[in-house]
């Protein structure tokens, strides 16, 4: 049995969604770091392998800071949320949506799905997070946005971060 109640985990997710909404509105995701333990582990997979950071302040400056800065105006609405209070974990899916939520000529929305796994650490903070997404699909979406004029230029942080790992 988990040390955390279902109610506490649901409240954590409610707070998390609220700070995500604020981040989208401001185009600044650094506040999310306040919802991580000081010794958090945050990572995501890339074509070059797993990219991982530890410590709240490193995550603030890198994962929810510099990596997200090029994405001002983008939204990441959560789609599905699964909470497992017996393990103290949550799994969510979300959409990466370009500014203005553009629609293609065929009527389909320009967006790509992603997912995150969280380990709850108590005190309304995550102790771990792993983001999962298809890097190629996101890159293709960004290129499509540039080609159709949705974006003036392609955000470069994602490709620079992956290139620096090689």
The CATH number for 120's domain is: 3.10.450.50
Compute CA distances 76 → 57, 80, 91, 140, 148, whole Å: 22, 12, 15, 17, 21
The answer as to whether 163 is a domain residue is no
The answer as to whether 161 is a domain residue is no
Going along 99-149, which residue ranges are E strands? 112-120, 126-133
Tally DSSP H helices, then E strands, for the chain: 4, 6
In the chain, what percentage of residues exceed pLDDT 70? Answer: 90
Mean local confidence (pLDDT), 126-132: 97
Mean local confidence (pLDDT), 121-134: 96
Cα separation, 132 vs 59, in Å, equals 17
**Angle at Cα 63 formed by Cα 150 and Cα 134, nearest 5°?**
55
The answer as to whether 58 is a domain residue is yes
The answer as to whether 36 is a domain residue is yes
What pLDDT is stored for residue 142 in this prediction? 92
What pLDDT is stored for residue 154 in this prediction? 55
Mean local confidence (pLDDT), 50-63: 95
Work out how many domains the chain is built from and give that number.
1
The answer as to whether 67 is a domain residue is yes
What pLDDT is stored for residue 159 in this prediction? 41
What pLDDT is stored for residue 135 in this prediction? 87
The answer as to whether 22 is a domain residue is yes
Mean local confidence (pLDDT), 54-77: 94
- Domain of 71 in residue numbering reads as 6-152
């Amino acid at each position: 049995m988990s040390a955390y109640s279902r109610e506490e985990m649901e409240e954590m997710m409610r707070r998390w969604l609220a700070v995500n909404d604020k981040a989208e509105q401001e185009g600044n995701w650094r506040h999310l770091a306040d919802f991580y333990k000081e010794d958090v582990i945050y990572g995501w997979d890339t074509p070059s392998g797993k990219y991982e950071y530890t410590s709240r302040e490193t995550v603030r400056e890198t994962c929810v800071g510099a990596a997200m800065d090029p994405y001002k105006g983008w939204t990441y609405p959560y789609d599905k949320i699964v909470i497992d209070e017996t393990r103290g974990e949550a799994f969510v899916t979300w959409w990466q949506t370009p500014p203005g939520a553009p629609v293609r000529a065929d009527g389909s929305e320009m967006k790509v799905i992603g997912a995150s796994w969280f380990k709850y650490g108590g005190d309304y903070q995550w102790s771990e997070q792993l983001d999962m997404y298809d890097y190629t699909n996101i890159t293709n979406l960004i290129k499509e946005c540039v080609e159709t004029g949705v974006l003036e230029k392609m955000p470069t942080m994602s490709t620079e971060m992956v290139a620096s790992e090689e």
